[in-house]
A and B are shown apart, each in its own frame.
Chain A
Amino acid sequence: MVTDPNNSAAALTVRGLSVFFGERAAVKNVSIDITAKAVTAIIGPSGCGKSTFLRAINRMHELNPDARMEGEIKLFGDDIYSRTVESVTVRRRIGMVFQKSNPFPTMSIFENVTVGLRLNGVRDRKILAERTEQSLRMAALWDEVKDRMNAPAISLSGGQQQRLCIARALAVQPEVLLMDEPASALDPLATAKIEDLIVSLKKDYTIVIVTHNMQQAARASDFTAFFYLGELVEFGPTTKIFTSPAQKRTEDYVTGRFG
C-alpha cells in the first residue's frame, strides 16, 4: 500500500520488504513511501513487526545472525542494501533513538554528544563545540545543561537522558531519524517534551517513530502506518487513520477492540 509511486518528496521508498528470523517472517512484503521532512508513525499491537521494520531501515537487524531480508529500501534514491554500501555509511545517514535511553556511562554530556563525530575522525574543537550546541538546542536540552557540559551523562534525569540521546543522534547530521518508542519509559511531562521536540524537528529531518501509544501518534505525526502480524494493513494521513480508517482491522485496533 503506497501513497504515490512517483513521490519525489519521499525520503525512503520501501518495496517488497520482508525480514526473516530463521524461518519465521517478522515483516511480510511491505511497500511504503516515507515522506521527507514529515513525521510518520508506525502503530500496531506487540509482535506486529513494527520494530523489526524500523530496524531494517538502518540495517540494525543485521546484528542478529539469524536475520535475513528481501526487498529494497532506497534513501533519497540510493539503494541502502546494495553490495557497495556499508552498513556504517547507512547508519550515518539514518540515525536511531531507542526506547531505553542509553547515554554512555563513562562519558560526560559533551563527550556523549560528540562521540559519533569523534569516533568518525572529526577532531576540530570548534566544529565539535558548534555541533554540540546546535544539537543540544534542537533537542531542547541546551539551556538545562550548558553550564555542566563536563558532568557525567548519567547524572541527568530520565527525560533529559533521552533528549541527550536525541542530540547525540542529531550531531552526526543524519537525513532520517528513526525512533523506537522513544517516550515509553518516561513520565507524561517528559513525554510531552519529547513529542513537542519531534514536531519541531520535522522542519529539518524526516522522522519515523514506532509507538504503541495511539494518542502519541495522533498528537505528533503527519502520517500513520498500521502494521498487523508483519503486514502493512493501512497507511495514510494521521487524521484519516484516527477519524475514519478504511480497513476494518485498523478500525478495530484503533477503537481498542483488540491489541
Chain B
Amino acid sequence: MDNHFETGLEALRQKLLTMASHAETAVNQSVQALVQRDHDLALRVKEDDRVIDQFEVEIDDLVIQLLTKAPLASNLRLVTVAMKISQNLERVGDEASKIAKRARDLSQEPPVKINLDLPRMAGMALAMLKSALDAFVNKDPVAARAIIPRDKEVDALNKQIHEILAQHMVANPDTISRCLNWMVACKSLERIADHAKNIAEEVVYLYEAQDIRHTAGKSQTGPATGA
C-alpha cells in the first residue's frame, strides 16, 4: 500500500514537466524578443523567471519529503534525477533572462547590419531541450543518448557566430557594444544547449542506471533494465 508515495512521485513528475514548459517558453520568447526587437516581450520574460525559480524551490522541497520515505531503485533514481533536472531548468530560465536583457538593450539601439545564423542556433538548442524532456516523459533512454552529440554542432555554430561578430567589430568599431550583446546572447544559447545535454544524461541515468557524464566517445547503446 504505497499509494501516497506513488502519488508523491507522480506529483514530482508533473511539477518537473510544468517547470520545463515554462523554461521552453522563456527561451522561445527571449529569442523572439531578440530577433524581433520586442522590448515588452523581453521585459515579460525577465519577470516570468521568478516563476521558474519558485518551481526549483518547490521541487527541492518535494524531493526532500520523498527522500524521508527512503525510496529505492528506480524511485530513488527518479527523485535524485528530478532534483538535477530542475537545477538545469532553472539555469535555462536564467539564460533566457540574460538573452531577454540583451534583447532589451539591443532594441534601444539601431539594428546591426549583419547576417547571423542565430535563429538556427536557437532552434537547435530549443530542439535539444524539447527532445530531452520528451525522452524523460516517454522513458526513452535511446532517444536521450542521441541528443548528446548534437551539443557539438551547437558549439561549432557558436564558435562560427563569434568569429563573424569578432570580424565585424574589428571592421566597424562603432558597433562594438551591440556586437558584444549579440555575443553574450549567443553564449547563453550555447549554455542552454549544454543544459539540455545534461538533462539528457540524467534521463539516461534514470532509465538505464548508467552514469554517462564526463565520458569521452559516448556509445549509442546501453543495457536495458526495469523501470
Tell me, yes or no, whether A and B come into direct contact in the complex with CB atoms closer than 8 A.
yes
Flag whether A242 is at the interface (Cβ < 8 A).
Answer: yes
Interface centre among A218, A251, A255 (most CB of B within 10 A): A255
Complex Cα distance, B183 from A117, in Å, reads: 82
Size category of the binding interface on chain A: 10 to 19
**Residues on the B chain within 8 Å of A254, using CB:** 72-73
**Minimal Cβ-Cβ distance residue in B for A251:** B226
Residues of A within 8 A of B76 (CB): 242-243
Q: Please encode chain B, from 43 to 76, with 1 for each CB lying within 8 Å of some chain A CB and 0 for all others.
A: 0000000000000000000000000001111111
Specify which chain A residues have a CB less than 8 angstroms from the CB of B72 in the assembled complex.
214, 218, 242-243, 254-255
Q: A6: CB under 8 A from chain B?
A: no
A214 to B70, CA, bound (A): 10
A202-259 interface (Cβ within 8 A of B): 214-215, 218, 242-248, 250-252, 254-257
Contact of B225 among A214, A244, A257 (CB under 8 A): A244
| Least Cβ–Cβ distance between B75 and chain A, in angstroms | 5
- Mask, B179-220, CB within 8 Å of A = 1, is 000000000000000000000000000000100000000000
**A251 engages B5 (CB within 8 Å):** no
Q: Contacts A251-B73, A255-B75 known; A244 to B209 CB distance under 8 Å?
A: yes
**Chain B min CB distance to A42 (Å):** 16
A245 / chain B contacts, CB cutoff of 8 Å: 73, 225-226
Interface 0/1 of B1-20, CB less than 8 Å to A:
01001000000000000000
User: Considering the chains assembled together, what is the distance between the CA atoms of A245 and B209 in angstroms?
Assistant: 9
Our pick among A214, A218, A247, A251 for the contact of B74 (Cβ within 8 Å) is A251
Total number of A-B contacts with CB less than 8 angstroms?
42
Q: Is the CB of A242 within 8 A of B73?
A: yes
Q: Assuming A215-B70, A242-B72, A244-B209, is B5 touching A256 (CB within 8 A)? A: yes
**Distance from B209 Cβ to chain A, minimum over Cβ atoms (Å):** 3
Write out, one digit per residue, whether chain A residues 27-44 have a CB within 8 A of any chain B CB (1) or not (0): 000000000000000000
Q: A254–B75 Cα gap in the complex (Å)?
A: 9
B227 within 8 A of A: yes
Compute how far the CA of A3 lies from the CA of B191 in the bound complex, rounded to whole angstroms.
44
> Contact: B227 with A251, CB < 8 Å?
yes
B39 on the interface (CB 8 Å rule)? Answer: no
**Is B73 touching A244 in the complex (CB atoms < 8 A)?**
yes
- CA gap between A256 and B4 in the complex, in Å: 12
Q: B81-106 vs A: 1/0 string, CB under 8 Å? A: 00000000000000000000000000
- Residues of A within 8 Å of B73, CB to CB, are 242-245, 250-251, 254-255
Q: Which residue of the partner chain, among A218, A247, A256, contacts B226 with CB atoms under 8 Å? A: A247
Task: Give A203 to B75 CA distance when docked, in angstroms.
Answer: 33
Residues of chain B contacted by A218 (CB below 8 angstroms): 72
Chain B residue contacts of A250, Cβ below 8 A: 73, 226
B225 cross-chain contacts in A, Cβ below 8 A: 244-246, 251
Contact at B209–A243, with CB atoms within 8 Å? Answer: yes
- Interface CB pairs A-B, < 8 A, 29: A214-B72, A215-B70, A218-B72, A242-B72, A242-B76, A243-B73, A243-B76, A243-B77, A243-B209, A244-B73, A244-B77, A244-B209, A244-B225, A245-B225, A245-B226, A246-B226, A247-B226, A248-B226, A251-B74, A251-B225, A251-B226, A254-B72, A254-B73, A255-B2, A255-B71, A255-B72, A255-B73, A255-B75, A256-B2
B residues touching A (Cβ–Cβ < 8 Å)?
Answer: 2, 5, 70-77, 209, 225-227
Q: List residues of A whose CB falls within 8 A of some B CB.
A: 214-215, 218, 242-248, 250-252, 254-257
User: 15 new A-B pairs (CB below 8 Å) besides A244-B209, A254-B73?
Assistant: A218-B72, A243-B76, A243-B209, A244-B73, A244-B74, A245-B225, A246-B225, A247-B226, A248-B226, A250-B226, A251-B225, A251-B227, A252-B226, A255-B75, A257-B2
